Amino acid sequence: MPKHILLVEDSVTMQKVVQIAFAREDYQIVSTTSADEALARSKEHRPDVVVADTSLPGKSGYDLAAALRAEAATKDVPILLLTGNFNPYDEQRGQKAGIDAH
């Protein structure tokens, strides 16, 4: 049975990159483009891991992580944040939000 990755990325290009990276692995990727949509999807089906962009329209990846940590069903789901050169990882925000890796 494949593991489920919840990918939260507003760039179609980056969605494709992640899909290609996991194409030969036993993972099913569900893509969303916003934190709110990701929260709704995580309630429908608990992901095994969340991969999210730091900068999303509306709520950020940090906000999403904090919201996932606040829910009993998703508080232990590993969260990986994707960062770029224009938005480097904020260690303090990441620790506060409960990020596992970046």
What CA–CA distances, in Å, run from 37 to 66, 87, 90? 15, 22, 23
For helices 61-70 and 35-44, angle between their N-to-C axes, nearest 10 degrees: 30
pLDDT for 89 equals 87
In sequence order, which residues have a C-beta less than 8 Å from that of residue 96 and are 6 or more positions away? Answer: 62, 66
pLDDT for 88 equals 82
CA angle 78, 71, 87 (to 5 degrees): 50
Per-residue pLDDT of the chain (102 residues), as tens digits, is 889 999 999 999 999 999 999 999 999 999 999 999 999 999 999 999 999 999 888 999 999 999 999 999 999 999 999 987 677 888 999 899 999 999
pLDDT for 29 equals 95
